[in-house]
Structure 1
Amino acid sequence: MNIFLSYGLLYLSNYLLAVCPEINNLFNLQIFSGNANNSLILIGGFIATVFVSPVCEELIFRGVLINKLKVIVPTTFAILISSLLFASLHPYGSIMSAFVFAICMAIFYIKTENILVPIFAHFLNNLFAEVIVILDKGNILFTNDFIMIVISILAIISGIVLTVALIGELNKIK
C-alpha cells in the first residue's frame, strides 16, 4: 500500500512542480553532479537503498530515537517525532509517504519489540521500489495516463486504508 501511496504522492508533487517550478528550487539539493548512468553508481545506489538504508535508518530512528524519546514523551509522540525526522530526510514528493512509512515501521517495532522486523519490512519496501524503477525503463509510470489514473486511484484507497489502520494502531499503543 505504501508503494501506491508513494507513487500517488509523486504524481501530485510532479503536478505541483509543473504548475509552480519555483518549488523545485526550495527542495532540489544536488549533491552529486557526475554521470548518473555510470553502472558503478547505479549498483552502489541499489546496494545503499536496498541493504544499507534499511539497517541504518531503522537502527537510528526506531532502535535508538524512539527508545530515547519514550523516556521523555508518550510512545505515540515518540513515534510521531521520529517519523517526522525520518520523513524530513527524504526528498520533496516522498516526504508524506516516508512519514506514513515511518509510522508503520515504528508500530512494527513497538508491537514486536524486535528491530529486525522493521529492518526486513524496510528492505522489502526499498527492494520493491527499486525493482519498479529498474523495470520502468521507458518511464511509463509517469507518462501513461491510464497507469497514472489507476495508480492514483490505488493511492487514494491506500491512503485511506493506511490512515484508518494507523490511527487504530496508534490508539492501541500505551
Structure 2
Amino acid sequence: MLYLSNYLVQIVNLNGNYFGLFFPSMSLNSEIFGIMGLLSVVLISPIVEELVFRGIFLNKLRMIVPTTFAILISSLLFASLHSFGSIFSAFIFAICMAILYLKSENILVPIFGHFLNNLIGESLYHLDSSQILFKNNLVVAGMSILAIISFILILKFIFSNWNNFK
C-alpha cells in the first residue's frame, strides 16, 4: 500500500492541475498524501496483507503442503514484498502472524497484531523525526537484546509445537 501511495504521488501533478479536476476547491499538498500514506500503512495494509497472505495464501498452501511449509512459503512471499533492509524482520513477523492466525483460527487476531505493529512503528518514525532514539546506543542495545530474546522465544514456541503445525 505504501508503494501504491508513493506511485500515486508521482502520477498526480503536485501543482494541483490534475487534482483540481476532481476537487477544484482543494489544493493538493504533500500533507494530504502524508496522511493518506499513514492511513494506508496503519489501517489498510494490515487488513489487505493479512487477508491475502494468511487468509488466502496460507490456507490454500495448507491444502497442498504441510502446514509448516505453508507458513514458511507464505511468510517468504510476504517478506519479498517488503524493502530489502527489512526482509528478514518481515519474514519473522509473518511467521508470528501465521502462528497467531492458526492458533486463534480468527483472521481478526493477526489483523489487529499487524495494525498495532504498524501503528507503533509509524508513531516512532514520525515522533522521533530527529532519530534521537536510534542514535542512542543504550536504546539500540536494549532493542537488540529484546529482538534476540523474542526471536529465541519464537523459535522455542515453533519447535515445541512442531507436531501441531504438520
Q: Same fold (TM over 0.5)?
A: yes
Q: Which residue of 1 aligns with 2:84?
A: 92
2:37: which partner in 1? 45
How far residue 164 of structure 1 moved from its aligned partner, in angstroms, is 2.0
Residue correspondence of structure 1 range 141-152 to structure 2 within 5 A: 141-152=133-144
| CA deviation string 1:107-155 (max 9, x = no partner) | 1111222111111111111111111111112111332223222222222
Query: C-alpha separation between the residues in 1 aligned to 2:67 and 2:75?
Result: 12
The answer on 1:165 being equivalent to 2:157 is yes
1:68 pairs with 2:49: no
Letter in 2 for 1:66: L
Q: Which secondary structure does the structure 1 equivalent of 2:84 belong to?
A: coil
Q: 2:108 aligns with which of 106, 112, 116?
A: 116
CA RMSD of superposed structures (Å): 2.1
Tell me: CA distance 1:166–1:41, structure 2 relative to 1, closer, same or farther (3 Å).
farther
Distance 1:77 1:93 in 2: 24
Equivalent position to 2:129, from 137, 148, 151: 137
Alpha-carbon offset, residue 167 of structure 1: 3.1
| Pairwise CA distance, 1:70 | 1.0
SS in 2 for 1:93: helix
Provide the secondary structure at the position in 2 that maps to 1:156: helix
Alpha-carbon distance between aligned partners in 1 of 2:92 and 2:159, rounded to the nearest angstrom: 11
> 1: distance between equivalents of 2:141 and 2:100?
31
Q: Percent identity?
A: 56
| Cα distance in 2, alignment partners of residues 135 and 117 from structure 1 | 27
CA distance in 1, matches of 2:106, 2:55: 9
Aligned match of 1:83 in 59, 72, 75?
A: 75
Distance in 2 (CA, whole Å) between partners of 1:170 and 1:56 is: 28
Distance 1:148 1:139 in 2: 11
Structure 1 portions without partners, runs of 5+: 1-30
Larger Rg: 2
- For 2:143 and 2:158, locate their aligned partners in 1 and report how far apart those are by CA, in whole Å: 21
Answer 1 or 2: higher relative contact order, Cα 8 Å, separation at least 6: 1
Figure out how many residues of one structure are paired with residues of the other and give that number: 143
* TM-score (norm. length: structure 1): 0.74
Closer/same/farther in 2, CA of residues 146 and 89 from structure 1, 3 Å limit: same
